[in-house]
Amino acid sequence: MSDSILPPSATRNLIQEVSKNLTSADILALLGTPVTLVPAPGVGFQIVPLAVIVKFFGGSVAYTNAGGAVNVKVGATMLQALTEQFITTVAPNRSIGVIGFAGAAELQSSAANPPDTDNAPMTMNKITNNYAAGNGTARVTVIYMIEPTT
């Protein structure tokens, strides 16, 4: 496939990196308001995650988890759940979570035509229950490629 027919938003076979800063409001609303980490690449293409790095910085009040993990996914396909990424004691403490690198990140799309990862964004959300309280910030960095689904 020639790169000349790729849509401008899809740069195939190049390793790309994007970072997203999460505010305390973003973290507290993860159940109902997923955060888009990488936008949808266009029909006929999917995001291939290589690594996700989450750096969390504790605020003045530790988060209270009412249950449920933080989910990183492409479309409906879950990459990995982070169990206690945002549960850390108050500043100056921090936690760093990494999905991928050593064995790269694993993403298995559905057997469908097109796959459920086709033209799907990469998002982060809470699987169940928002955090009940707390504050702090996070920086999420995604290292990825774009590949055709056809």
Question: What does the pLDDT profile of the chain (150 residues) look like in tens digits?
Answer: 334 444 555 555 689 999 999 999 999 999 989 999 999 999 999 998 888 999 999 888 888 887 788 888 898 888 777 766 777 677 778 888 888 754 455 666 666 677 788 999 999 998 888 888 888 999 999 999 998 887
User: In this predicted structure, what is the pLDDT of residue 4?
Assistant: 42
Q: Which residue has the tokens 């990140």?
A: 105
User: In this predicted structure, what is the pLDDT of residue 2?
Assistant: 39
Report the CATH architecture of 19-148: Sandwich (2.60)
Query: Which runs of consecutive H residues, i.e. helices, occur in the chain?
Result: 24-28
Contact 105, 99 (CB under 8 A): yes
Encoded amino acid at 33, one letter: T
pTM for the whole structure? 0.81
Alpha carbon 10 to its chain centroid, in Å, reads 18
Distance between CA atoms of 89 and 60, rounded to whole angstroms?
9
Tokens at 40, concatenated: 């949808």
Q: Please, what's the largest Cα pairwise distance for the chain? A: 52
Coil vs helix vs strand at 5: helix
Query: Which runs of consecutive H residues, i.e. helices, occur in 17-150?
Result: 24-28
Coil vs helix vs strand at 62: coil
User: In this predicted structure, what is the pLDDT of residue 123?
Assistant: 95
List pLDDT tens digits, range 59-99: 888 888 877 888 888 988 887 777 667 776 777 788 888 88
